[in-house]
Each structure stands twice: as C-alpha cells, then as structure tokens.
Amino acid sequence: MHTRVSAFLLFAFQLAAAAQQQYLAQSDDAPAHLVPDDPIAQAVLSRALADGIDLPAYAFSGPALEEIVYWSHFNSSELPGSLVHSAEGVEAIDVHAHYAPKWYSNARQDSTEWHLQEHLELMANHSIAKSIFSVPNPNIFPGDKGATLAVARLLNENMAALSKALPDRFGFFATNPLPHVNASITEAQYALGSLGALGVALSSNHDGHYLGDRLFAPFFAAMDDHQSIIFLHPTEPLLEVNNTLIKANPTTHSPVLAEFYFETGDLSAASDDCSSDVGQPGQC
Ligand SMILES: *[C@@H]1O[C@H](CO)[C@@H](O)[C@H](O)[C@H]1NC(C)=O
Ligand SMILES: *[C@@H]1O[C@H](CO)[C@@H](O)[C@H](O)[C@H]1NC(C)=O
Ligand SMILES: *[C@@H]1O[C@H](CO)[C@@H](O)[C@H](O)[C@H]1NC(C)=O
Ligand SMILES: *[C@@H]1O[C@H](CO)[C@@H](O)[C@H](O)[C@H]1NC(C)=O
C-alpha cells in the first residue's frame, strides 16, 4: 500500500504571487469583539482539550477564537452577489490558495493579511470557481509541540468556519502538526471526519524532518486508511544541530526564490533509504 502524494505546485505560482499581493493590499475587516463566552468558542476549546491541546496557554488563541466565531456567524448575503457566486461557465478550482488570518500572521510576525473581498475579486479576475485553502506549515514555533498543536487546531477550525460561510466558493486541506505523529493522526482524523477537510496539507520539512523520515510511517499509514488526498508544499527546511533547530537555506536568497524549488525533490532525505515511496522505507 503506497501513499499517493499529489503535488500541485508549479502551475499555481502566478496565482500565489497574485494572492501574496492582495494579502498586503488592505487592512482591517477583522472581527471586533472579544468572545470568551461565545458557545462556538467554548465548543472549540473543549474539543481541543479532549484531544490534549491546551489553547488557553497561548496568546494567539484569543484572536483566533474571535476569527472562528466571526466566520461562524458570517452571512454571505452581506456581500455583492457577483462575488458570492461564480460566473456562468467558470469551473476552475484553485487547489493552491493560502489562507493567512491576521492572528496567524501576527503569531508568525509577518505582515501578510488575507481579506475576503479581495480574495473573491482575485477569484473572479482569474475565473476561479472555488479555492481550496491550505496552510501547510504550522511549525511557526519550531520545537514547541504544544504551540504547534494549538496553531494547527486553530487553523483547521478557522478554515472550516470560513469554508462553511461560503461553501460553494471555499474548501480546505487540513494543517497537520508534524513531526508530532500521534497528534497529527488525531488532527487529521478530526479535520477530515468532523470539520469537512478535503485532504491534508503537508510541508516538505517539519521541524527538521523530511517526509521520508521513517518516524512518519504511522501517519502515512493512517492517511492511507482514510484514502486522504495529500497536498504537498515546499518550505524552508530546518536542521537539528546540537539539539537546536536552525534554518538550513543553503543560499543567500529568500527561500521563496531559491530553496523552495528543490524541496519537494528531497522527500526521502533524512531517511536512511533511497525509496521515493513516502513513509515506506527500505524499498530501494
Ligand atoms: C442573512 O441575511 C439575509 C438578509 O439580511 C437574511 O434574509 C437571512 O435570513 C440571513 N441568513 C441567516 C442565516 O441569518
Ligand atoms: C481585479 O481586476 C480589477 C480590474 O482589472 C482590478 O481593478 C482589481 O484590482 C483586481 N483585483 C484583484 C484582487 O486581483
Ligand atoms: C503513539 O501511538 C501509538 C499507538 O497508539 C503508541 O504505541 C505510541 O506510544 C504513541 N507515541 C507517543 C509518542 O505517544
Ligand atoms: C556543536 O557542538 C560542538 C561541541 O560543543 C561544537 O564543537 C560544534 O561546533 C557545534 N556545531 C555547530 C554547528 O554549532
């Protein structure tokens, strides 16, 4: 049984660049109210707790819960009808659409921002009927398991709420807290089974581990059981040196410009075999 890895990468670079532009373009349609008592926030907190994820421990959880509550109550009739529905004959599905809510950008200390109306305009301009969102790398606090689990869960709840607000236009691939294998299996099962994720998104490298690492074999076995689509995205690799995770970009260029292009060729690196079957070591 081999895990099928589908990488939908190159054709979408232009779109990704355009999306990046629009993240930077506008500010502040963010939700305004604190929502600690909202039943939706409470439900997210208790489901996370049941899976061993301690959301209240992290400062980013508050704004993330606000965002989730905001999209859960969002009424798309507030938008121009021309944006809520795709035009006649438009059928393209963009499977490489990144979502960067403000709480997530703030947590990772960058300035990218996502805005609904801009994204819908981008879709209209490029004849896209549906966007499948992904945030392939929740490892914005390298080596910190609790924070990585919390980021992944909140992104999934957030993308699920957004997708339900405009179900004809949006779907999502679940974020997974690898290299924490058991937690990633739990997260993927929750996202696929309960949140309506269409597949799982993975980075080429999670906290220093490439996907061919035999550590990940139980995760891929579980994804096989679910017949899950896997969306694979390159990232800036990390290396563990003297018990410390360091960035391993071998060039002086931004990883977006250089290292990214090679990362998905490195799937079996850091594994002691030469198999190209992800998660199936020893077959060469
Ligand atoms: C959304 O807003 C429209 C127009 O104000 C209203 O008719 C509709 O009932 C609302 N839908 C929900 C689910 O609240
Ligand atoms: C969509 O196209 C219009 C007309 O060319 C342009 O003004 C607008 O900036 C575009 N918006 C996006 C998000 O691409
Ligand atoms: C992961 O789950 C397996 C199967 O339930 C268990 O044997 C293993 O000890 C768990 N590993 C960790 C690190 O919790
Ligand atoms: C790792 O630690 C050893 C022993 O302290 C040191 O000699 C070596 O330079 C360190 N390597 C790096 C890349 O920092």
d(CA 225, CA 64): 31
For residue 281, tell me if it sits in a domain. Answer: no
For residue 284, tell me if it sits in a domain. Answer: no
For residue 147, tell me if it sits in a domain. Answer: yes
Q: How far is the CA of 182 from the centre of ligand 3 (A)?
A: 6
For residue 247, tell me if it sits in a domain. Answer: yes
Q: What is the DSSP string of 183-217?
A: HHHHHHHHHHHTS--SEEEEESEETTEETT-GGGH
Cα–Cα nearest to 166, from 117, 199, 125: 117
Ligand that comes closest to the CA of residue 179: 3
For residue 219, tell me if it sits in a domain. Answer: yes
Residues 208, 214, 215, CA angle at the centre, nearest 5°? 60
Q: CB neighbours of 30 closer than 8 A, spacing ≥ 6?
A: 66, 67, 70, 102
Query: Cβ(241) to ligand 4 under 6 A?
Result: yes
Q: How far is the CA of 75 from the centre of ligand 1 (A)?
A: 6
d(CA 187, CA 219): 11
| Count of domains for the chain | 1
Q: CB neighbours of 84 closer than 8 A, spacing ≥ 6?
A: 76, 77, 120, 166, 168, 169
pLDDT at res. 277: 42
Q: Pick the residue whose CA is nearest to atom 11 on ligand 1.
A: 75
pLDDT at res. 261: 55
Q: What is the CATH number of the domain that holds 166?
A: 3.20.20.140
The pocket around ligand 2, CB under 6 angstroms, is made up of 22, 118, 121-122, 125
Query: Cβ(242) to ligand 4 under 6 A?
Result: yes
For residue 171, tell me if it sits in a domain. Answer: yes
The pocket around ligand 1, CB under 6 angstroms, is made up of 75, 77
pLDDT at res. 274: 37
pLDDT at res. 251: 75
Ligand 4 binding pocket mutation candidate from 242, 244, 245, 246 (most atoms within 8 A of CB): 242
Whole-structure pTM value: 0.81
pLDDT at res. 15: 32
Cα–Cα nearest to 233, from 254, 253, 263: 263
Amino acid identity, position 94: D
For residue 283, tell me if it sits in a domain. Answer: no
Q: How far is the CA of 263 from the centre of ligand 4 (A)?
A: 26
Ligand 2 atom closest to the CA of 25, numbered from 1: 13
Range of the domain at 235: 4-76+90-273
For residue 279, tell me if it sits in a domain. Answer: no
Residue by residue, pLDDT tens for the chain (284 residues) are 333 333 333 223 333 333 332 222 223 443 333 456 789 999 999 999 999 999 999 999 999 999 999 999 999 998 888 888 888 888 899 999 999 999 999 999 988 889 999 999 999 999 999 999 999 778 899 899 999 999 999 999 999 999 999 999 999 999 999 999 999 999 999 999 999 999 999 988 899 898 889 999 999 999 999 999 999 888 888 888 888 988 887 777 777 666 565 665 555 444 444 334 444 433 32
Ligand 2 binding pocket mutation candidate from 120, 121, 122, 123 (most atoms within 8 A of CB): 121
